[in-house]
Amino acid sequence: MADHWMRGAAMLLALVAAPAAAQSGSEARLSREIDRLSAEVDRLEATRAIKTLQRAYGYFVDRALWREAADLFADDATIELGSDGVYVGKQRIHDYLKRLGGGREGLRYGQLNEHMMLQPVVDVAADGHTAKARWRDWMMLGQFQQHAEWGDGIMENSYVKDGATWKIASVHLFTNFVVPYEAGWARARPAAADWRSEAAKDFPPDRPPTVAYRPFPDAYVPPFHAETGGGR
């Protein structure tokens, strides 16, 4: 009799406990789904902020606002354009960009310096504090009634979150070509052995170039950050 009663009690307890266990399982699944969606929202918000940041950089460069452009960088950030080498820190980045732009803040009369930030591929790290992105920098350059150029390059950049604000941690532009508008890239000449800008020759970098390559018409594909362990 005792065994029969014990078996009945166990069955009753199982019936009472089943809905609670099922409810607990549903709550756990719901909690996990909420966490997943929250993480996805954070990633999408970070991606949007990084795109806005990079396009702001492009706008300030377009307008030759070098101080504003440099202020988008982290304090220990780097910039590397073409074969010029690596410049480290906000002030060095500002001074280098200013020299590239003709040595003054703001555009000269008739100066065109358009840099369109296109084809973004943004990968935010799992911790949400760093990111990497690939861009195409398409350029229209020139001086009214003097000269005009097309330019093209691939950027592999990194970003860091400083509090609630994203900053540029590094810019690396792999210049593909800068050629006269009239002749275009079809008549581009192979780059000279030393194809640094005049700005870099007069204002040496803090570190040498990280990659040795030749621009168009040589074929060079910059490594994609996802292939080198960066990104997601």
In the predicted model, what is the mean pLDDT of residues 102-127?
A: 95
Q: Lowest mean pLDDT: which of 21-30, 34-43, 92-101, 125-134?
A: 21-30
pLDDT higher than threshold 90 for residue 72: yes
pLDDT in tens, 122-142: 999 999 999 999 999 999 999
User: What pTM value is reported for the model?
Assistant: 0.83
pLDDT higher than threshold 80 for residue 220: yes
Fold entry, domain 11-228: Nuclear Transport Factor 2; Chain: A, (3.10.450)
In the predicted model, what is the mean pLDDT of residues 137-165?
A: 97
pLDDT at 15: 44
How would you classify the pairing of strands 130-143 and 147-162? antiparallel
Residue with structure tokens 């210049």?
Answer: 175
> What b/e sequence results for 92-106 when a residue is b if at least 16 CB atoms lie within 10 Å of its CB, and e otherwise?
bbbbbbbbbbeeeee
pLDDT at 229: 46
Main-chain dihedrals φ then ψ at residue 80, nearest 5 degrees: -140, 115
In the predicted model, what is the mean pLDDT of residues 187-216?
A: 95
pLDDT in tens, 39-51: 888 899 999 999 9
Q: Which helix H or strand E contains 46, and what residues bound it?
A: helix 2-62
